[in-house]
Structure 1
Amino acid sequence: MRPLISDPYAELGRDYARSRRPDPRVAAAITAALGDARSVVNVGAGAGSYEPEDRDVVAVEPSRRMIAQRPATAAPAVQACAEGLPFADGAFDVALAVLTVHHWTDVTAGLAELRRVSRRQVIVTWDQAVFARFWLVRDYLPEIAEHESRLACLDRVVEELTEAGQVPAVAPLPVPSDCVDGFLGAYWRRPEAYLSERVRAGMSGVALLDQNVVATAVERLRADLADGHWHRHHVGLLGRTELDLGYRVVTT
């Protein structure tokens, strides 16, 4: 029996396609990790970001709201969850999972399914210890780190793959200073963006927190920007073009 499909993005994904556009530099790193794969299953595919256009792609996404935001030109999408992929063994060259594993209800089962249906896996996740040092988390919303400590991220992914007899390779995925994909770390050099409720709505790490806590943190950031405190404290970031916030590409 396949797992029941829950839809955490019924509300979170309301405006997802507009705030979470694929960044070409992130896309290039993912494409490189796919190597010579001709067939790809994109698990937790969302609105279709980072699906290569030059391969045979099938998308898997549990949320109807997210599927509805996929453009007409996107790869065909199946409503299913990672823990119960409706494909034959070895059906794909690569299983791709971009910033999705932390949402899965059973990570062991989900990663086993990726291994079952594909020859290789490419997983984008993040190192929680590195991300906890990000100024937004460290100085304003440590609740993000507290929440994320309960999620399956880099350490869990590597552990699961290693225990399954694979040898995962881990590569950093630096975030460009002008990143166009609005994931949580995207605006590290553009702090004003975090003041926008619309921007924050596309970041599950913020949207799933107590919004009273978030509102207090946002007002502190607003004040620090207004009086110049943020810029004085983070002057070393202002000339940088990319930053390692802990995002990682795991390949097998």
Structure 2
Amino acid sequence: MSGTDLYDEIGTGYSWGRRTDPRWMAEILAALGTARSIADVGAGTGSYEPHDRTVLALEPSVEMIRQRPPGASPAVRAVAEALPVRDHAVDAALAVLTVHHWTDWRAGLAELRRIAPLQVVLAYDTLRHIDFWFVREYVPEIADLERTRPSADDIAHELGAQSVTVLPLPWDFTDGVFPAYWRRPAAYLDPRVRRACSALAQTDPGAVERGIRQLRADLGSGRWHERHRDLLDLDEWDAGFRLIVSRA
């Protein structure tokens, strides 16, 4: 299933489950600096688009575009590997948690470099995701998917990045990225939460259901809390998210 098809199928819950977290938004705005015109590639519902600048959203999925809120920046259907944007047409190219869905991620990054002198990419360390307790203990099949995806280090190297910033997940993070509920495990029992996670949507449903049954049992018995009591005292956790900045 391509990224476009995937999000046309599972994207119906994204506006509910994927809400802007102001802490990540502040980091992205700082990385964009003084850029006034921005191409948001793989824009989705526009969760991390600045409201005080000129933004062109580029998104392949009709379902994701449909969920963009009233007043959002204009959106054009396009894939990252062939952007309908002139060379150096914008000040910055923004790509938030999208590169791992691209069919040819290197070609997509080349397009970011072509259209803008500044590239700001939010990606993640796939090995950190593979080691996430949900994957390790409940749905290890997700690891097979993660191993096929480019990791943050790969993306930074390809872009020749000037900086890579760790973006930890606060325990009360409002954007339902896959590991967002690292300290709130009962959230994964909610089908709406799972529908907003592409890693779960792309994994065998039988494996996911098996894992959820075991998680429900472990929460009921107290086994999860006993096994992960060290997490309960943390205010934030490094799930591998990295903000990559590259300037030509």
The bucket for the TM-score relative to the shorter chain is over 0.9
Q: Which residue of 2 aligns with 1:208?
A: 202
**Aligned: 1:246 with 2:244:** no
Tell whether 2:26 aligns with 1:28.
yes
1:42 maps onto 2:40 in alignment: yes
- Bigger shift: 191-200 or 232-241? 232-241
The aligned residue for residue 137 of structure 2 is 139
C-alpha distance in structure 1 between counterparts of 2:161 and 2:177, whole Å:
28
What is the SS of the residue equivalent to 1:90?
Answer: coil
Counterpart of 1:109? 107
Who is 1:119 aligned against? 117
Spell out the pairing of 1:74-93 with structure 2 (5 A cutoff). 74-93=72-91
The whole-number CA distance in structure 2 between the counterparts of 1:107 and 1:218 is: 31
Q: Which amino acid aligns with 2:216?
A: R
In 1, distance between residues paired with 2:188 and 2:133? 12
Gaps of 5+ in 2: none
Q: CA RMSD of the aligned region, Å?
A: 1.4
Q: Which amino acid aligns with 1:181?
A: D
Aligned equivalent of 2:165? 171
SS in 2 for 1:15: helix
Distance 1:191 1:6 in 2: 29
Counterpart secondary structure, 1:13: helix
- Call closer, same or farther: CA 1:17–1:143 in 2, change over 3 Å: same
Which secondary structure state, in structure 2, belongs to the residue aligned with residue 32 of structure 1?
helix
- Stretches of structure 1 lacking an aligned partner (at least 5 in a row): none
Any residues of structure 2 matched to 1:216-235 within 5 Å, and which? 216-235=210-229
TM-score, normalisation: structure 2 = 0.95
> CA separation of 1:227/1:5 partners in 2, compared to 1, >3 Å: closer, same or farther?
closer
Q: Deviations over 1:19-40 (max 9, x none)?
A: 1111111111111111111111
**1:138, distance to aligned residue in structure 2 (A):** 1.4
| Matched length | 245
- Mapped pair 1:236 → 2:230: yes
SS at 2:72's partner residue? coil
* Structure 2 CA distance for aligned equivalents of residues 182 and 6 of structure 1: 20
Q: CA deviation at 1:131?
A: 2.0
CA distance in 1, matches of 2:225, 2:33: 41
For the residues of structure 2 that align with 1:191 and 1:74, how far apart are their CA atoms? 32
Q: Which amino acid aligns with 2:240?
A: G
Shift of 1:5: 9.1
